[in-house]
């Protein structure tokens, strides 16, 4: 469970409790998911198991809704972001198909300096091609938590000589990468992710298998679902203090891309099935398009529907 849910004295616990107790009183709930992706929980909800004493509201599964890209895969970012986007995609253009693992952990996903070095050594030892987004370690000043951190100094954060030794098969970018465009690129064969729901849906739509490395919020719950139920990700195994070793990084990155690895191959096959299912859900007559039509009709008829959009991704 998310950490605030384990502490009843936490303000976030009270806010979450207040929110979920209003769900049964609403006339509709919008969820950014689709039926083929989560059949078991969807059946549990529709069977009334989640709200046993009162009627279950209408649930509208209208996903996957993700950011769009231009026809060539570019997202049309402006300014400096456009330069960074071009660098990433131009580099990917020169890589073999399905050969690159992409490591990116959302706008709030930060690692300690020691963990960054451990990741670097693991990537180097794996021998695999990689595109890695590196951000500065977290600051102790919590008031700056949601502010953009300063640009990282890669020479200080990463092991001596790492960038030179991996220059022919790796690209490290500072702070940001065009995630949807990268995941949609033909050269990307794996995604090490913090398990934010938006990132998960983007990977599913692109047919990219994942390594689940949750960091905060609901991400540990997402990891459990991705690994144990959906079978779309390999787990990044942590020690009791949350640290991930060189050996684990090396192993998981290699498994994700190795055609001879049975576990990785099963994940890759499964995610391709879900990618096709996502397209079907969003196509004319698909389950998500039908759900959206039903929602629109309920509003068009003038029903005073109060709808709670469920935002589970960061």
Superfamily of 98-277 according to CATH: Glycogen Phosphorylase B; (3.40.50.2000)
Give the pLDDT score at 300.
84
Give the pLDDT score at 95.
97
Which residue in this structure is represented by tokens 């490591």? 103
Q: How many CB atoms lie within 10 A of CB 266?
A: 13
Percent above pLDDT 90 for the chain: 73
Determine the distance from the C-alpha atom of residue 266 to the mean position of all C-alpha atoms in its chain, rounded to a whole number: 19
Mean pLDDT of 263-281: 97
- B/e letters for 68-90, b = 16+ CB within 10 Å, e = fewer, are ebeeebebeeeeeeeebbeebbe
Q: Where are the domains of the chain?
A: 3-66+281-301, 98-277
Q: How many whole angstroms separate alpha carbon 176 and alpha carbon 262?
A: 32
Distances in Å between the alpha carbon of 303 and those of 256, 288, 292, 295? 48, 21, 15, 10
Q: Do the beta carbons of residue 249 and residue 118 sit within 8 Å?
A: yes
Structure tokens at 78: 């402006």
Q: How many whole angstroms separate alpha carbon 116 and alpha carbon 123?
A: 11
Among residues 286, 303, 292, the alpha carbon closest in space to that of 60 is found at 292
Query: pLDDT category, 84, cuts 50, 70, 90?
Result: confident
Q: How many whole angstroms separate alpha carbon 123 and alpha carbon 249?
A: 7
Distances in Å between the alpha carbon of 202 and those of 120, 191, 206? 25, 10, 6
Give the pLDDT score at 285.
96
Among residues 237, 227, 233, 177, the alpha carbon closest in space to that of 203 is found at 233
Q: What is the pLDDT of residues 60-83, one digit of tens each?
A: 999 999 987 654 555 444 445 677
Among residues 123, 231, 129, 270, the alpha carbon closest in space to that of 189 is found at 129
Among residues 254, 204, 252, the alpha carbon closest in space to that of 232 is found at 204
Name which residue leads in pLDDT, 31 or 139: 31
Local structure of 170: helix, strand or coil: strand
Among residues 197, 226, 222, 241, the alpha carbon closest in space to that of 1 is found at 222
Q: Do the beta carbons of residue 232 and residue 269 sit within 8 Å?
A: no
Q: How many whole angstroms separate alpha carbon 254 and alpha carbon 61?
A: 35
Residue 302 has φ and ψ, to the nearest 5°, of 85, 15
Q: What is the pLDDT of residues 190-229, one digit of tens each?
A: 999 999 999 999 999 999 999 999 998 899 999 999 999 9
Structure tokens at 308: 């709670």
**pTM score:** 0.90
């Amino acid at each position: 469970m998310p950490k605030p849910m384990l502490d009843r004295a936490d303000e976030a616990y009270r806010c979450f409790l207040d929110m979920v107790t209003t769900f049964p009183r609403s006339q509709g709930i919008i969820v950014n998911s689709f039926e083929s992706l989560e059949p078991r929980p969807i059946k549990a909800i529709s069977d009334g198991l989640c709200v046993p004493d009162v009627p279950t509201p209408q649930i509208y599964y209208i996903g996957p809704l993700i950011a769009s890209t231009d026809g060539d895969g570019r997202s049309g970012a402006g300014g400096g972001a456009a330069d960074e986007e071009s660098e990433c995609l131009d580099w990917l253009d020169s890589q073999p198909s399905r050969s690159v693992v992409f490591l990116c952990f959302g706008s709030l996903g930060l690692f300690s300096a020691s963990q960054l070095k451990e990741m670097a050594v693991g990537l180097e030892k794996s021998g695999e091609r990689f595109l890695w987004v590196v951000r500065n370690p977290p600051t102790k000043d919590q008031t700056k938590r949601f502010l953009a951190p300063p640009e990282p100094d890669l020479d200080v954060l990463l092991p001596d000589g790492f960038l030179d030794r991996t220059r022919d098969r790796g690209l490290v970018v500072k702070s940001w990468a065009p995630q949807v465009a990268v995941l949609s690129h033909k050269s990307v064969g794996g995604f090490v992710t913090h398990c934010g729901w938006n990132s998960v849906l983007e990977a599913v739509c692109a047919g990219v298998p994942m390594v689940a490395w949750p960091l905060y919020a609901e991400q540990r719950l997402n990891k459990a679902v991705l690994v144990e139920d959906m079978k779309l990700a390999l787990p990044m195994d942590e020690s009791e203090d949350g640290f991930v070793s060189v050996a684990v990084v090396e192993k998981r990155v290699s498994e994700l891309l190795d055609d001879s690895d049975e576990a990785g191959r099963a994940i890759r096959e499964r995610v391709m099935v879900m990618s096709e299912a996502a397209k079907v859900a969003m196509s004319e007559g698909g389950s998500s398009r039908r759900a959206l039509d039903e929602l629109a009709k309920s509003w068009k008829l003038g029903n005073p529907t109060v709808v709670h959009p469920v935002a589970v991704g960061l």
